[in-house]
Structure 1
Amino acid sequence: MDLLGAAANVRDRAVAGHLADLRRMPREVIDSSPSATLYRYLPLEGSHPSSDPGRLPVLLVPPLGAPDFAYDLRRGCSLVEHLLTAGRDVYLVDYGNISFAERGLGIEFWVENVVPRAVHRVSEYRGGAPVHLVGWCLGGIFSLLSAADRANLPAHTVTAIASPFDVSAVPLVAPLRPLAAITGGRLVSSAYQALGSIPAPMVKWAFQLSTVDKYLTKPLTVLSRLDDRDVLEQIEAVDYLMSHMHGYPGRTFGQIYHLMLRSNDLADGGLDLGGRRIALAEVRVPVLVVAGENDVIAPLRAVRRGAQLLTGSPEVRFESAPGGHLGVLTGRRARGTTWTCLDGFLDTHDKSA
């Protein structure tokens, strides 16, 4: 260990109270509704992406539960910062905190309303340009279902990162499926119906449970890597994200539980939402699917199933990269793996617009 480096990190943490630069990339509101806010990130100095018609805009679609700044975790390890540095025009739709009053909202609300509205607004803002959608976890599923549901959606490509399509391949969920089948899902249904929503602390606890080994060994990791500022900054940034998790509407959680966990409908090709079936085979745009090699929430087989179901897409790329559920999106190694794959995919399809 570099003792001087470790001492400097301890000193800086003691003086400033933190090591990671958690300032968010500057952004402006371009559309707002009671259900979501659409942001445009301000271009970096000297960069004017909207003046280059060859570079299509990118819309980031977050999942429920995680804060929108998962895409902008910290300076030096921010997907937003990376895309802006590459000269891209970057947008994000933010759902905000989910309140008890929104307990009746289902998956179809985001698939039929929130995501399509954001895509159309970005396209209009850019003079009718088609839009690259990039979604993490449930955000990737929202994006694909929206593209499948609306043939006129101005989506040019969709990227789904760490999106689980086959929950039978998820180790944490698989043991629960037989129990759910025996009880008919009544135990869990009673719980979320009584609560009305899944509170943020429960979402945080579930996320931590999936990486319990890392949380138990975190103190040892910090002590052994005191001289590695990048590691310490990442741990600090992830802790901050975990302390800002959001809740789930009760109805959405119920759909995830009954349609995806119990029945595993998505692995069969689609979901029944709002009285009709939305099939992934109806996606007609190129798709990039990325799986984390160490992801226990959305393991490789669960994510790869999505790529197999996109039979109507003109191109489906499947890639794997090191990292867990969050790490594959914005871990330290994602800078040279996931982000590189994304860059190549977007660059290729910019040219085909």
Structure 2
Amino acid sequence: MLSDLRTLARVLRDDYAPRTATESVTVSDRPHGRLRRYGTRDQFDAAREAGAVPVVLVPPLAVPASCYDLAPGVDPANSVVEFLLSAGTIPYVVDFGDAARRLGFEDYFDGFVPRAIADAIGDFRAGSNTVDLLGWSLGGTLSLLTAAHRRDLPIRSIITVGTPLNYSKMPMYAAVRSVLAPTDGKPIDYVLKALGGIPAPLVQLSYRATAWQRELRKPKYILDNLDDHEALVRMQVIDRFQDAMPGYSGKLSEQMLVNLVVRNEVGEGVLHLGGHTVDLRAISAPVFLVGSHRDAIVSHAAARYGEKLLTSSSHVEFHTVESSHLGLLTGADAQAHTWPAIAAFRESLVTSLA
């Protein structure tokens, strides 16, 4: 009984799960584009010697870059970084930090991500001098926008996990589009301008609301699992991740509302962002897509739409993993299904190019 009370106290004061991170070094420290390379020197040297293609991890907007490295060394199912390292791949992650009010999508696909790719290739200096891009949620959108807009970049492939590719196929936005389409989103756009974007607390609350059952059951879950160390660690790691979500900048939030939701430019294939016209249908690199029927944020149909959208890609492959939005990327379902599928896709690229 006393040990249970101690465990409960540690959970309530957020002192139960260890705070860990995979060993990394900073390759470049640009504003809104800090690039880190994961792994030990021995892992780095071995990957270069083997000619392995590195992976640049592109985080979603308003999500910390730590989404790819949750609880390493504590739970092997909670770190995409550890999975990639175990497969002999060197992962790099671009950390955007907090978005300034003036930043729009164009700053990412025409600036931050291309520079990260160049820095990663300059650091790795081996093999074919190409990279694979891997993006979860809107990180996948940024990856695709980058590949479409900067076709000169040495991108071998793009991997998207839970990425929305047609907002008209997402029920949660249907009502928004029907109400705002006649005014091109102007009423809410004015509100976003006045607020300077979407504040962090609202982003965090919105994300938690997609799994409201989990939030309601949390007190009982804690009490039922006081003797289950791994269950409590997983819960606290996810809670910390959610609490670290920053907000959306003013310009980004306006573009998301008008260009992505109301106009559904992603689904149409051509986006008009910050003076740039980006045609996703022009992407020629192979693309691997992952989606789920259980994802409360991105519908299965919206994630799978890339099969119809990416008409110039040399190979488009879709893989279904039945899990939550975060569960597609990290956790037991990802470890059992998403990660092996990604590994098989990347291996197929090696075979096809041999």
TM-score by length of 1: 0.91
CA distance in 1, matches of 2:285, 2:5: 49
3-state SS of 2:165 partner: coil
Q: Which residue of 2 aligns with 1:66?
A: 63
Deviation of 1:11 after TM superposition, in Å, equals 5.0
Counting only pairs closer than 5 Å after superposition, residues 131-150 of structure 1 correspond to structure 2 as: 131-150=131-150
Deviations along 1:192-248, one digit per CA (max 9) or x if unpaired, are 101112211111111112222221122233333444333222111010011111111
Q: Which residue of 2 aligns with 1:108?
A: 106
Paired residue type of 2:46: P
Contact 1:323 1:331 in 2 (8 A): no
Deviations along 1:55-75, one digit per CA (max 9) or x if unpaired, are 111110001111110111112
Deviations along 1:45-89, one digit per CA (max 9) or x if unpaired, are 667333334311111000111111011111222111111122211
Paired residue type of 2:331: G
Name structure 1 gaps, 5 residues minimum: 1-5
Paired residue type of 2:94: V
Q: Residues 141 and 49 of structure 1: is their aligned pair in 2 closer, same or farther, counting only changes over 3 Å? A: farther
Q: Residues 190 and 28 of structure 1: is their aligned pair in 2 closer, same or farther, counting only changes over 3 Å? A: same
Q: Which residue of 1 aligns with 2:45?
A: 48
Contact 2:70 2:79 in 1 (8 A): yes
Q: Residues 272 and 194 of structure 1: is their aligned pair in 2 closer, same or farther, counting only changes over 3 Å? A: same
Deviation of 1:152 after TM superposition, in Å, equals 1.4
CA distance in 1, matches of 2:10, 2:299: 40
Counting only pairs closer than 5 Å after superposition, residues 206-225 of structure 1 correspond to structure 2 as: 206-225=206-225
Q: Which residue of 1 aligns with 2:25?
A: 28
Q: Which residue of 2 aligns with 1:337?
A: 337
Q: Residues 15 and 175 of structure 1: is their aligned pair in 2 closer, same or farther, counting only changes over 3 Å? A: closer
Q: Residues 10 and 67 of structure 1: is their aligned pair in 2 closer, same or farther, counting only changes over 3 Å? A: farther
How many equivalent pairs are there? 345
Deviating more after overlay: 166-175 vs 28-37: 166-175
2:78 matches 1:81: no
3-state SS of 2:305 partner: helix
Deviation of 1:266 after TM superposition, in Å, equals 0.8
Deviation of 1:19 after TM superposition, in Å, equals 3.8
CA distance in 1, matches of 2:61, 2:310: 23
CA distance in 1, matches of 2:2, 2:54: 44
3-state SS of 1:277 partner: strand
Q: Residues 9 and 96 of structure 1: is their aligned pair in 2 closer, same or farther, counting only changes over 3 Å? A: farther
CA distance in 2, matches of 1:87, 1:52: 11
Contact 1:129 1:154 in 2 (8 A): yes
3-state SS of 1:134 partner: strand
CA distance in 1, matches of 2:228, 2:313: 43
Paired residue type of 1:171: P
Q: Residues 312 and 187 of structure 1: is their aligned pair in 2 closer, same or farther, counting only changes over 3 Å? A: same
Deviation of 1:342 after TM superposition, in Å, equals 1.1
Q: Which residue of 2 aligns with 1:3?
A: none
CA distance in 1, matches of 2:81, 2:19: 13
Contact 1:225 1:232 in 2 (8 A): yes
Q: Residues 274 and 321 of structure 1: is their aligned pair in 2 closer, same or farther, counting only changes over 3 Å? A: same
CA distance in 2, matches of 1:118, 1:196: 27
CA distance in 2, matches of 1:46, 1:185: 49
Contact 1:131 1:157 in 2 (8 A): yes
Contact 2:165 2:303 in 1 (8 A): yes
Deviations along 1:300-337, one digit per CA (max 9) or x if unpaired, are 01111123211111111101112211111112221111
Q: Which residue of 2 aligns with 1:191?
A: 191
3-state SS of 2:295 partner: coil
